[in-house]
């Protein structure tokens, strides 16, 4: 859960920082090689297509996929980088692509999503693990090299 720090802990009064501006949401944009294939990948995991924008050639060039309050934009061949190298080990930071955290409601849902990903033959690069920072997570790699840390906070 996000906890807002005290104002004086992050912004000394005389430091010249701007006043706090409420941000409604942040939407990552992933560079993908094939927008329809990426939308299908997300749909197999329960996400829904929120919009599709077609290029002049009629091919999808930009799209959105969402689940609950979360949304991710997908851009064909632009706005970021992809990676074709597979992680050599969990948390391998030498790979490209984007890393994103995808939070579910419970560790049981993490295990169920992991089982679904394995059943679908998706690229799981780390099995469900109870991390020392209080999260149970597994790592799921998108075909264009983006890594999703699918997790949930553990209680207690």
Residue-range domain boundaries for the chain: 26-79, 81-156
Q: Is the pLDDT of residue 18 over 80?
A: no
| Location of structure tokens 């849902």 | 109
Of 23-27, 77-81, 137-141, the least confident: 77-81
CB 86 within 8 A of CB 123: yes
pLDDT, tens digit, for every residue of 28-58?
A: 999 999 999 999 999 999 999 999 999 999 9
Cα distances (angstroms) measured from residue 13 to each of 7, 9, 76, 81, 135: 9, 10, 44, 38, 34
Q: Is the pLDDT of residue 2 over 50?
A: no
β 60-67/48-54 pair status = antiparallel
According to CATH, what is the number of the domain 81-156?
A: 3.10.180.10
Calculate mean pLDDT across residues 14-34. Answer: 84
Q: Is the pLDDT of residue 115 over 50?
A: yes
**Cβ atoms < 10 Å from Cβ of 155:** 7
Q: What angle do CA 123, 129, 131 make, to 5 degrees?
A: 130
CB 124 within 8 A of CB 152: no
Fold of 26-79: glyoxalase-related enzyme like fold (3.30.1900)
Better pLDDT: 88 or 125: 125
Q: Structure pTM?
A: 0.81
Please state, in angstroms and rounded to a whole number, the distance separating the CA atoms of residues 65 and 45. Answer: 11
pLDDT, tens digit, for every residue of 55-106?
A: 999 999 999 999 999 999 999 998 877 776 666 666 666 667 888 999 999 9
pLDDT for 155: 84
pLDDT for 97: 81
């Amino acid at each position: 859960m996000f906890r807002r720090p005290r104002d004086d802990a992050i912004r000394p009064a005389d430091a010249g920082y701007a006043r706090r501006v409420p941000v409604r949401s942040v939407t990552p944009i992933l560079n993908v090689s094939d927008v329809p294939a990426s939308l299908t990948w997300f749909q197999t995991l329960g996400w829904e297509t929120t919009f599709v924008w077609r290029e002049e050639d009629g091919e999808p060039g930009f799209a959105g996929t969402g689940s609950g309050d979360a949304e991710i934009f997908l851009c064909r061949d632009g706005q970021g980088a992809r990676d074709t190298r597979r992680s050599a080990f969990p948390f391998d930071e030498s790979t490209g692509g984007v890393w994103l955290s995808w939070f579910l409601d419970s560790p049981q849902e993490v295990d169920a999503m992991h089982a679904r990903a394995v059943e679908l033959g998706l690229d799981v690069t780390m099995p469900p693990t109870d991390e020392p920072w209080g999260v149970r997570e597994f790592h799921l790699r998108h075909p264009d090299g983006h890594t999703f840390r699918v997790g949930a906070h553990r209680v207690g």
